[in-house]
């Protein structure tokens, strides 16, 4: 067998795990884009790089090893996977190419295809039995495996249903139904998304509150990575409002208190947590009719400073624009008060029955908020009695410092709720009391009349 080349093949896209190099020698030399070398192994790598089907066939027919490896342990299949050449990949596999060879950095053809987002090649390699690369959080010893780790084999997705958010699915786990948030193959190759996954896990582990969705565990040692939470079959607040429309003030206030209590827990945490994506589809209903705050994919943990600023403006994909505070889209520093702004819009929507600025295009809504415009109050004034309208207006104040905290909001909601509830009961009881009063008067009059009649009869008898 011919000895391995002491030189490195370097044309086009390189290993997904290789460190960046500069000024390195190309295998076989290079002159105006052409490799000058008669070594058939070199020609195989080059032909895979160029997608030259006929050239590869000719080289393989001459007896060249399809699994030849260069000095970096890379094969022609690695090269073809990087470039997304599915025809070349199929040809190499048909001629006996190993499906999961690892280069010197541990990258496989499938890992390279995932890194370069070559989806056709990904499906082809998986069809031939390629194993998905290890998750970015993979640890070397069992002692390092997190306590919350769930074996992916325990999650049964048979008859799985996709929930309202595309990445969430229902699965069975240890005899119960759970909600599973799957992270696609693109996460492995995207450092920002890996960090976002780590951040979300760090947040979920800290949360224990009846108005916050319960974290059950995660899959971090294999791909795809997943986050597993309790499943709430009643659905989310968005679906509920779509069905019910405007809610009665007492119902809206009970829901508002649930949201406020969950958010107060997050904000009053030792390391305050900003949800930053508080909107109806991220609020779930449990079996008892109470609400739980969920989905912390774009949340922020305030560790040292009390305010944060994004490296880049928040994008449409990150959040639902109708509920985001103007300071976030202006790319200014912000704090927990962004969630208070979102809360005000949700509370008003529950009473009005429509999303904020529902007649406007979603992309235009942030501009309205920035211009200090707010959704109009159209519901009857009695629905906003006892200071409810004033509370909403304070919560969506353009100045974050003027907005109340959830710690201040909760007692105000409780006071308003008691007023509404008292009036509701009084309206039910008052007619009953009037009836009882009239009945008592009638009985009294009847009793008096009977007594006078008896007295009259007695007098006549005498």
Q: Within the chain, what is the greatest distance between any pair of CA atoms?
A: 148
Do the beta carbons of residue 172 and residue 178 sit within 8 Å? yes
Place of tokens 């969705």: 213
Determine whether 277 is an active site residue. yes
Q: Please give the distance of CA 323 from its chain centroid, rounded to a whole number.
A: 15
> CB 191: neighbour CB atoms within 10 A?
10
CA distance 361 to 363: 6
Do the beta carbons of residue 83 and residue 51 sit within 8 Å? yes
Concatenated DSSP letters of 175-192: TEEEEEEE--GGGTT-HH
From the candidates 277, 295, 335, 339, which is the catalytic residue? 277
Do the beta carbons of residue 226 and residue 157 sit within 8 Å? no
Contacts of 208 (CB under 8 A, 6+ apart): none
Do the beta carbons of residue 413 and residue 253 sit within 8 Å? yes
CA distance 278 to 346: 9
Do the beta carbons of residue 391 and residue 412 sit within 8 Å? yes
Contacts of 39 (CB under 8 A, 6+ apart): 5, 28
Half-sphere exposure of 346 (CA within 13 A, CB side): 33
Active site residues per annotation: 277
């Amino acid at each position: 067998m011919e000895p391995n080349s002491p030189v490195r093949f370097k044309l086009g896209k390189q290993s997904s795990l290789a460190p960046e190099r500069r000024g390195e020698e190309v295998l076989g030399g290079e002159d105006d884009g052409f490799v000058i070398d008669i070594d058939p192994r070199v020609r195989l790598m080059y032909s895979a790089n160029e997608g030259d089907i006929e050239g590869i066939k000719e080289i393989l027919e001459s007896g060249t090893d399809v699994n030849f490896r260069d000095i970096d342990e890379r094969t022609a299949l690695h090269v073809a996977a990087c470039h997304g050449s599915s025809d070349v990949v199929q040809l190499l596999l048909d001629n006996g190419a190993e499906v999961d060879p690892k280069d010197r950095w541990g990258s496989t053809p499938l890992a390279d295809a995932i890194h370069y987002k070559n989806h056709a090649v990904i499906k082809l390699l998986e069809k031939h039995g390629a194993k998905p690369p290890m998750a970015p959080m993979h640890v070397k010893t069992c002692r390092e495996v997190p306590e919350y780790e769930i074996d992916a084999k325990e999650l049964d997705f048979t008859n799985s249903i996709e929930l309202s958010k595309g990445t969430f699915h229902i699965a069975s786990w240890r005899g119960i139904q759970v909600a599973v948030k799957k992270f696609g193959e693109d996460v492995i190759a995207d450092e920002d998304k890996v960090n976002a996954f780590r951040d979300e896990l760090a947040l979920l582990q800290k949360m224990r509150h009846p108005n916050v969705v319960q974290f059950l565990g995660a899959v971090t040692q294999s791909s795809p990575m997943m986050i597993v939470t309790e499943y709430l079959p009643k659905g989310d607040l968005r679906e509920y409002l779509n069905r019910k429309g405007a809610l009665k003030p007492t119902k809206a206030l009970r829901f508002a208190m649930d949201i406020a209590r969950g958010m107060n827990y997050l904000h009053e945490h030792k390391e305050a947590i900003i949800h930053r994506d508080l909107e109806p589809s991220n609020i779930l209903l449990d079996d008892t009719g109470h609400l739980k705050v969920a989905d912390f994919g774009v949340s922020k943990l305030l560790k040292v400073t009390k305010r944060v600023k994004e490296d880049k403006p928040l994008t449409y994909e990150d959040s639902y624009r109708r509920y985001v505070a103007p300071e976030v889209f202006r790319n200014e520093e912000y704090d927990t008060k962004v969630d208070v702004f979102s809360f005000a819009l949700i509370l008003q929507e529950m009473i009005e029955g429509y999303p904020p600025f529902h007649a406007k295009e979603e992309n235009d809504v942030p501009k309205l908020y920035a211009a200090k415009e707010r959704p109009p109050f159209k519901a009857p004034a009695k629905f906003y009695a006892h200071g409810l309208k004033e509370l909403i207006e304070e919560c969506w104040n353009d100045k974050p410092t003027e907005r109340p905290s959830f710690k201040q909001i909760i007692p105000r909601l409780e006071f308003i709720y008691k007023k509404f509830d008292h009036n509701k009961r009084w309206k039910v009881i008052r007619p009953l009391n009037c009836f009882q009063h009239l009945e008592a008067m009638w009985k009294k009059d009847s009793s008096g009349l009977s007594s006078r009649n008896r007295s009259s009869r007695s007098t006549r008898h005498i």
